[in-house]
Amino acid sequence: MTLIDFFIGALLANAMPHLIFGLTKTHFLGLFGFSPKGNIAYAVLQFIICIILFGIYYDFKNIMENGYLVGGITVVVLYFIFGKILVRFYGKQEKSTKN
């Protein structure tokens, strides 16, 4: 493992909590402040930097050969796509069970 591998993994892993905090409108300190939109923007920025670093150092065609990276990217992308829907769905269920 090289230092760049550490940064690629750290950026990918750190994008997830910032995305979740942004989608759930939890105020959490990120690069762009405490706002939910700032956390989402920070998650997107980290994800993009992670992919660019991997592409520069290992070439984009090698992404599919790295199972750990593919798994991490899959989870982050699924949260980008379905995260807001899941937050709304489970938020409605929680409200309906309290009544």
Residue bearing tokens 């762009």: 32
Q: Return the closest-CA partner of residue 70 out of 4, 1, 12.
A: 12
pTM, entire model? 0.78
CB neighbours of 34 closer than 8 A, spacing ≥ 6?
27, 28
Which parts of the chain have pLDDT scores under 70? Answer: 92-99
What local confidence, expressed as pLDDT, does residue 98 receive?
A: 61
Q: CA-CA distance, 73 to 12, in Å (whole number)?
A: 7
